[in-house]
Structures are given as C-alpha cells and as structure tokens.
C-alpha cells in the first residue's frame, strides 16, 4: 500500500472484509438484543429502494446492497489512504468510519428512514462501523507488508 499500487482484488477484499465484519457483528448483536437480524437486512434494502418492503427477497437484496456499498467505501478509502503505513492506516480508517457512521446515523438515515436508526442502539451500530475499519485496515496492512522487499542475507548481516 505504501507504494501506491492498489489492485481491484485488494479493494474487493478490503470491502468484503469490512462488510463481513459488520454483518457478523450485527447478527451477534441482534441475537443478544433480541432484535430481528433479517429485519435489519430488509431495512437496508428498503432504505435504498422503498418499493422492496413487501418483497421476500428484501433481506437478501439488503445484504447485496450492504456489500456493494462496503466495496464502494473501501475503494474510496483505499485511494485516499494508500500512502499510509500500518499505525496511521488504522487510525485514519477508524476516524473515517466513525465519520461515515456519524453522517449516516445522525444526519442521512433519520431523514431517509427514521425507523432504520431505531432498529439497534447507536453504540452497536458505531461498533459495527469501527469493526469495518479494523477489518479493512487489516487487509490493507497485510497487503502492504507482503509488498515489502525481503532482505538478502548480506543485508541481514549489515543491519
């Protein structure tokens, strides 16, 4: 990542990792809180396409929308943060995801679908976004580490 080279596969992996971290967290939190996880997935689809409310496919479409948005967000963040090294990458990613959460849950979603915001407590949804950031940054940091040159045996002796 520090060299500025980013492939589509890295963006897909980073977005999918972040999106999956959110799905797993929300599923676990919904179970613990007695909420309906499928209602949350349905709400994602109806927030984007309100006509899907009655569709039996709405939860699945909600998951698809979630992952598409996750990959799009990763694409933006990877482009913006590609020059950062591990610690700065994690901090910047967490800051960016907290900002996305604040925009979504405090400004946008209350206007689009106020019921969506009430499905889970704010701390649960904030943790969800932060876990997205940790998962995405982990993928990016691991990719960057794999791109580092391997020192030769002569370089190891001089270090």
Rounded distance between C-alpha atoms, residue 43 and residue 52, angstroms: 9
Whether residue 10 has pLDDT greater than 70: yes
Work out the percent of the chain whose per-residue pLDDT is above 70: 89
**Banded pLDDT at 4 (limits 50, 70, 90):** very low
Whether residue 28 has pLDDT greater than 60: yes
Torsion sign, CA atoms 141, 138, 89, 100: positive
Rounded distance between C-alpha atoms, residue 96 and residue 149, angstroms: 29
Rounded distance between C-alpha atoms, residue 99 and residue 112, angstroms: 18
Given a contact cutoff of 8 angstroms between Cβ atoms, the answer to whether 116 and 33 are in contact is: no
**Banded pLDDT at 149 (limits 50, 70, 90):** low
**Banded pLDDT at 11 (limits 50, 70, 90):** very high
- pLDDT for residue 151: 64
Whether residue 141 has pLDDT greater than 60: yes
- pLDDT for residue 33: 96
Rounded distance between C-alpha atoms, residue 126 and residue 123, angstroms: 5
- pLDDT for residue 1: 47
Given a contact cutoff of 8 angstroms between Cβ atoms, the answer to whether 43 and 119 are in contact is: yes
Question: Structural domain boundaries of the chain?
Answer: 8-145
Whether residue 153 has pLDDT greater than 80: no
State the average pLDDT over residues 30-44.
Answer: 94
| pTM, 2 dp | 0.84
**Banded pLDDT at 58 (limits 50, 70, 90):** very high
- pLDDT for residue 82: 83
């Amino acid at each position: 990542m520090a060299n500025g080279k980013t492939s589509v596969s890295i963006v897909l992996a980073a977005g999918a990792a972040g999106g999956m971290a959110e799905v797993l967290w929300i599923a676990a939190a919904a179970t613990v809180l007695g909420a309906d996880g499928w209602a949350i997935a349905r709400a994602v689809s109806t927030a984007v396409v309100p006509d899907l409310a009655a569709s039996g496919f709405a939860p699945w479409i909600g998951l698809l929308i979630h992952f598409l948005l996750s990959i799009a967000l990763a694409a933006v963040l990877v482009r913006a943060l590609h020059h950062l090294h591990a610690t700065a990458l994690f901090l910047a990613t967490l800051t960016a995801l907290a900002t996305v959460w604040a925009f979504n849950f405090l400004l946008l979603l209350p206007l689009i679908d106020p019921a969506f915001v009430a499905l889970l407590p704010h701390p649960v949804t904030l943790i969800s976004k932060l876990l997205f950031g940790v998962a995405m940054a982990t993928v990016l940091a691991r990719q960057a580490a794999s791109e580092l040159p391997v020192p030769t045996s002569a370089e190891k002796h001089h270090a």
